Structure 1
Amino acid sequence: MNELPFTPAKSAAKPAAIRPPKGAGEAMWRGFLGKCPACGEGKMFRKYLKVADNCPNCGEELYHHRADDFPAYLVIVIVGHILVPIVLAVETDLAPPIWLSMTLWPAIALISTLALLQPTKGAVVAIQWFAGMHGFETSKGRRLPRPAIEPVPLH
């Protein structure tokens, strides 16, 4: 009874050679660019924010992700931390007309939010894939050796 609510479509593409990322940074960068975190070639998204079930290049299953609202929260924090100081500086130093402020700042906020949302979601899905979270534990591209953690002596 612990089954998925749907059966993911099997990829018709022939499995390509997977070049695993060297680290979490490379996996996140691949996701940020909208590429498969396993091979770095296939497209991660089939629509603007809809992650593909499988990579069209290597067949890596990507439907396990549970990004939920976290990418949106990250984008709000990033855009807010960049835009608010700029708005405060411009509004206090230059005092532009109110009509300009009421059209310019919301437009900039909307454009920057929409521009960052997909790359941020890609990076979140990629880090989940790299860390083996939320169903990615058995992903075929994650054949990376885990460093052994040695206990620290307490004496």
Structure 2
Amino acid sequence: MSASRRRPGTGTSSTWCGCSCSSASTCSGAASPALTSREPTREPAWGTSPPAEDVIIAVETHTTPPERPAAGLARVALLSRCPRCGEGPLFDGFLTPTARCRACGLDTRFVDSGDGPAVFIILIVGFVVVVAALVTEVKVSPPYWVHAVLWLPLTLILSLGLLRPAKALMIALQYRHRAREGRLATPPPPSEDAP
């Protein structure tokens, strides 16, 4: 997030890229006197960097580091392994996630990939099979039963073969980015001074 000094006579500040924000939203409080007291200067040309003195940089950091570094996404997806340690199995059955990793003890109750893996697989496999069927029809023009014998098994094999790695990848991404189920923020309790 970057912001330049506040323009005299206005309640907003204009960043060097042209967007306007209030000083409270860009600086987490009132504008700095050092920034508001200076006279405005010419804005830099589009695509050029602003002068270093005009930029306030805020860095957002996570307060708690991950317990252990996350395992590689390719290893987790292809081998269906734990997203934290990369060792323990991720699934009990074909697509049922384990309750806890046997190697590192990661609690996998956060797992909720939903329909995401299935949707991606449907789109990818559908594209591959339809293009292959169209190319075969145009170049060879086989009877319809040949299409059924070729494309139905290929669709099943690709869909079932890619579903487990896709689900493991979605779970690993959830773990890596600390994605959780959406929750509504609870409003603060009313103050006793309020009428």
Shorter-chain TM-score above 0.5: yes
Structure 1 residue 62 corresponds to structure 2 residue 108: yes
Cα distance between partner residues in 2 of 1:28 and 1:64? 20
Judging by fraction of residues, say which structure has more helix: 1
TM-score (norm 1): 0.68
- Per the alignment, residue 34 of structure 1 pairs with 80
Cα distance between partner residues in 2 of 1:62 and 1:31? 16
Structure 1 portions without partners, runs of 5+: 1-17, 136-155
Q: CA deviation at 1:32?
A: 3.6
Q: CA deviation at 1:28?
A: 5.3
**In percent, how many aligned pairs have the same letter?**
33
Q: Is the 8 A contact 1:28 1:37 kept in 2?
A: no
Cα distance between partner residues in 2 of 1:32 and 1:128? 16
Aligned residues: 115
Q: Which has the higher contact order (CA 8 A, sep 6+)?
A: 1
Structure 1 residue 21 corresponds to structure 2 residue 67: no
Residue identity in the other structure for 1:74? F
CA distances 1:93-117 after superposition (whole Å, capped 9, x unpaired): 1111211112221111011100000
Q: Is the 8 A contact 2:101 2:108 kept in 1?
A: yes
Structure 2 portions without partners, runs of 5+: 1-66, 182-195
- Per the alignment, residue 112 of structure 1 pairs with 158
How much is the aligned-residue C-alpha RMSD, in angstroms? 1.8
Once superposed, which parts of structure 1, at least 4 consecutive aligned residues long, lie more than 3 Å away? Answer: none
Residue identity in the other structure for 2:160? L
Aligned counterparts, 1:74-113, within 5 A: 74-113=120-159
Q: CA deviation at 1:20?
A: 2.0
Secondary structure of 2:69's partner?
A: coil
TM-score (norm 2): 0.55
Aligned counterparts, 1:120-135, within 5 A: 120-134=166-180
